[in-house]
Chains A and B, each alone.
Chain A
Amino acid sequence: MTTEQSSKTEADWRRAYRALYRARAFDRTALALQRQGVIEVFSEARGQEAALIGACVDLVDDDMVFPDPRGAGVAMARGVTIGELFDWFRGMSYCPWDWRKTGYYAHPIPVGVQCSMAAGWAWAARLKQTDSVAVVYFGDGAASQGEVHEAMNYAGVFNAPVVFVLLNNGWAISTPSTRQSKAEKISIRAAGYGFAGETVDGNDFEAVRAAARAAIEKARSGGGPTLIEAITYRMGGHTTSDDPKLYRSVEEMASWEERDPLKRQRETLLAAGHPEADIDAVEVEVEEEIEASIDAYLELRGLA
């Protein structure tokens, strides 16, 4: 390995781990701010970070992400600032960030509509003869929406450069994924649209990243859409107004703690030979960054 390659790998693992860890740290901070009344209702992504960040970390600036509402970590990876995210959760504006510049679209409601939007955006990218790609996130609940079917069918017919990232976290608020579909894997639907689909371990950052990178490259080179189903788990509530203990067991929740994607990625990095001190340094850096942004935000909104 040349020095240049080695430093590139070094920068790459740091960049990826920073994005992953930032998602976790943001959630922790935002939850605290919600309890203090600084922001309104908040939805954590804890447990889903590997699936979220793994699918977007290899996009380029001209690509577009159509997010899932649990997308703060992805937003930051695309260049949305922490202050802009707080503004969204505080109810200051429906899209406080520059969606075109960041390539991170507004949060979708009702869930599902982001898929046909992404198919249309990607179709236009092809018509304009650019090589941009759209990545769209949606959940196992949204996957039941008729419009998600229509969107995938469209993307297939028009060979649109779009990657459908289905975050199957087991629960749509209190409804289990067994109530969304009888199929064991939702990814098999892709066959019905004439493109490839695969199910990956959504808590394995490297696995999601590899699948997404291949799908993004395929889309970029004219190969059309892909459906990636990432099996993951929402470790927190649906929102701060939710109490997951009312509908799922403590044992189930505990079993997923062991599969925490952050812990797993730390282990992966250690196993790959990255010194623990270097990994810790990334975490400290992120914690400091977030702390500074909270101070700046409270100041900005006259809440200090």
Chain B
Amino acid sequence: MSERPKRKRPGFTMADAINRAMDEALGEDPTTMLIGEDVGKLGGVFRISVGLQNKYGAERVVDTPLAEAGFSGAAVGLALNGMRPIVEIQFDGFIYPALNEIFTQVAKIPQRLGDPGVMPVTFRVPCGGRIRAPELHSESPEAYFAHTPDLHVVAAGDPRNARALLRAAIRSDEPYVFLESKRLYRRERIEPEDEVAELDPTKVRRIGDGEDLVIFTYGPMIDYAKAAAKALAYEGIGAVVVDLVSLAPLDEEGILEAAGASGRVLVAAESIERCSVAATVVSLLATKAFDSLRAAPRLVSAPNRPYPPARQEDDYLPSHDDLLSAARSLVAK
């Protein structure tokens, strides 16, 4: 008896977008490689690289030993010898063993060697929670990378811009940490024509319109911010969602412009608040846009404690209602 063929649901997902971006990069440039745990035959635990090893061979889509520091260090050496590795980290929490390589080598080598284009490495990191996973599978580690000079940190949470964003990261001669909101890999399905073909990876992205407040967010909370804006519209509150896209460096001009329009700012993130990207946005506004603010910015993010077990994650992470009440309190001022 033959196996029943799998039916692919129609529409283009963020997982499709990321797969296609890598497919295009591997197809265009023979020095581009994808390395990581289980990325070959299996296509990665999230099946993001599915089909790529068949198409490009086991020397370009490479299953590595289970050793994040080692394969990140090897990626440094590959880059020094003319390759352009894309490094897939299996889960956010598994990047911690590789931090030494990322902080002391990947991010510092361009300055050390006086050569900004010497480290064309892209780390792809599935991030974020609400997937009922074991410990260290739901982290939001972006602040560690954003705090590290000479690393670009970008976040994707939407099939519309994920392909163009990853293409930009891979095409760049500078190192990138590309954060993928794993909960959103297949959540939204779009028509191919709704995809952004090209984008500037350093610019914020406006989603919708609204004159009463702006919700800054990125990656894992993009759908929450959009849902909040929709709900607020029923209450007569106009909220514009602005996707930060680049977490480091921040698009300061784009943020200040978007904040200045209403003077009311909500920043939403899954990460803990202390020393976070979201807190940096607030700090930027306090120092450079104080006079245009009409209320103290609201920061909606996770409390300063470790990510809890799955059954408690809904209480730990910002909820839809948290966003709504913060928005209402801003507009009331």
Contacts and interface: CB of A to CB of B under 8 A. Distances in A.
B259 to A, nearest CB: 38
Q: 6 shortest A-B CB distances, which residue pairs? A: A120-B77, A116-B73, A150-B70, A120-B74, A124-B81, A121-B77
5 contacts: A106-B112, A116-B77, A117-B73, A120-B76, A120-B78
Given A95-B114, A106-B112, A125-B81, A116 B65 contact: no
A157 B101 CA distance: 20
A153 B71 CA distance: 10
A119 interface: yes
A113 B74 contact: no
B100 A110 contact: yes
Interface of A: 64, 93-95, 99, 105-106, 109-110, 113, 115-125, 127-128, 134, 146-147, 150-151, 153-154, 157
B61 to A, nearest CB: 12
B237 interface: no
A120 B73 contact: yes
A47 B240 CA distance: 68
Nearest to A124: B81
A125 B101 CA distance: 21
B36 to A, nearest CB: 13
B67 A153 contact: yes
Given A116-B76, A118-B77, 8 more contacts: A123-B74, A124-B80, A124-B82, A147-B69, A150-B69, A150-B73, A153-B65, A154-B70
Contact of A127 (B59, B79, B113): B59
Contacts of A146: 69
B105 interface: yes
A157 B65 contact: yes
Nearest to B68: A150
B54 interface: no
B67 A113 contact: no
User: Does more than half of chain A's interface fall in helix, strand or loop, or is it mixed?
Assistant: helix
Nearest to B33: A127
A151 B70 contact: yes
Contact of A120 (B65, B69, B80, B104): B80
A151 B78 contact: no
B104 A109 contact: yes
A22 to B, nearest CB: 25
Contacts of B71: 150, 154
A109 B108 CA distance: 11
Contact of B73 (A94, A125, A127, A151): A151
Interface string B53-95: 0000001000011010111111111111111000000000000
Nearest to B108: A94
Contacts of A113: 73, 76, 100-101, 104-105
B111 interface: yes
Contact of A105 (B59, B78, B80): B80
Contacts of A124: 77-78, 80-83
A116 B82 contact: no
Nearest to A116: B73
Interface string B11-34: 000000000000000000000010
A289 B211 CA distance: 74
A95 B80 contact: no
A253 B312 CA distance: 61
B112 A94 contact: yes
B74 A116 contact: yes
B113 A128 contact: no
A119 B112 contact: no
A116 B113 contact: no
Contacts of B65: 150, 153-154, 157
Given A99-B113, A110-B100, A121 B69 contact: no
Most buried by B among A121, A146, A150: A150
**Residue from B77, B101, B105, B112 with most neighbouring chain A CB atoms (10 Å):** B77
A93 B112 CA distance: 8
Nearest to A118: B77
A128 B82 contact: yes
A131 B181 CA distance: 42
Contacts of A118: 77
B67 A154 contact: yes
Interface in B88-132: 100-101, 104-105, 111-114
Contacts of B67: 150, 153-154
Contacts of B111: 94
A204 to B, nearest CB: 30
A150 B105 CA distance: 16
Given A117-B105, A150-B65, A150-B67, A123 B77 contact: yes
B104 A110 contact: yes
Interface centre among A115, A116, A125, by most B CB within 10 Å?
A: A116
B29 to A, nearest CB: 13
A14 to B, nearest CB: 32
A128 B59 CA distance: 11
Most interface-central of B74, B75, B76 (chain A CB within 10 A): B74
A150 B73 CA distance: 9
Contacts of B75: 120
A116 B85 CA distance: 14
Given A110-B100, A120-B76, A157-B65, A95 B112 contact: yes
Contacts of B113: 94-95, 99, 106
